[in-house]
Amino acid sequence: MNGPEIHVEFAPALGMFVPQRRRVGATEVVTDGVSTLGHVVESLGVPLTEVGGLVVDRREVSVSYVPAAGESVEVRAVARPQRVSGAPLRFLLDVHLGTLARRLRLLGVDAAYESTDIGDPALATRSAAERRVMLSRDRGLLRRRELWAGAFVYSTRPDEQLRDVLGRFEPELKPWTRCTACNGLLKEAVKDDIADRIEGGTQRSYDVFAQCEECGRVYWRGAHHDRLEAIVTRAVAEFG
């Protein structure tokens, strides 16, 4: 860019996206005089999914605003909890967030997940077609214009990722109601009806079962239940 100079200041929460020198206070940015403010902000490293507002000389503007020379721009972070209007709150996670997807499903949150890399265009298209919030750590994916809505997942640790998403969107929690394998809804299952799907030892040891309406997978309180219950208990205590 080589044109009008503006001054841009990013909210502290957005500091991880911009170079060190732009993390504190307003810094000078040279524009081309025709690009929108949304384009300028993204060119500096911040996905628009993480922008909660743009303020130019104390007035709020849209991402389509074209800044003029000498103007001061404040880039605000998304307010939490973030409300997503236009459809029920549902998520779509990319191939790198499988553990997060399973934990969201464990809590009864509608979380679609692509276990193979289908590519950014296909993910963005699915987000738009199904009106799902795209969760990703891929900034390029979150910049795609086809996205219906999106959010950057800030941590690489599953526990922190879960807290991040639950704290940002506050989805309704309905633990133990979704299949962690396929995201389908679970229903109570009669032992005799699923006898061909479980081993003899399991049949003798357990009496309460649930089955996925989509993939048919059977669930019971097995060896991993205590670990999963701990995840559910913590999440419900903080966000339920």
Condensed to tens digits (0 to 9), the pLDDT of residues 67-126 reads 999 999 999 999 999 999 999 999 999 999 999 999 999 999 999 998 888 999 999 999
Q: What is the separation, in whole angstroms, between the first and last Cα of the chain?
A: 47
Encode burial over 133-159: b for 16+ CB neighbours within 10 A, e otherwise.
bbbbebeebbbbeebbbbbbbeeeeee
By C-alpha distance, which of 88, 100, 89 is closest to 160?
A: 100
3-state class (DSSP) for residue 121: helix
What are the tokens at 12? Answer: 């502290």
Beta strands in 4-155 (DSSP E): 5-10, 27-30, 51-56, 59-61, 72-77, 91-93, 111-113, 133-136, 149-152
Please write the tens of the pLDDT for every residue from 146-156. 999 999 999 99
In the predicted model, what is the mean pLDDT of residues 29-37?
Answer: 95
pLDDT of residue 33: 92
Contact 31, 5 (CB under 8 A): yes
Question: Has residue 221 got a pLDDT over 70?
Answer: yes
The edge-to-edge listing of strands for the beta sheet with 209-212 is 186-189, 209-212, 218-219
Q: Using the 8-state DSSP alphabet, how is residue 185 labeled?
A: B
**Angle at which helices 158-169 and 225-239 pack, to 10 degrees?**
30
By DSSP bridging, strand 133-136 and strand 149-152 are parallel
Q: What is the pTM of this model?
A: 0.92
pLDDT of residue 2: 64
pLDDT of residue 222: 87
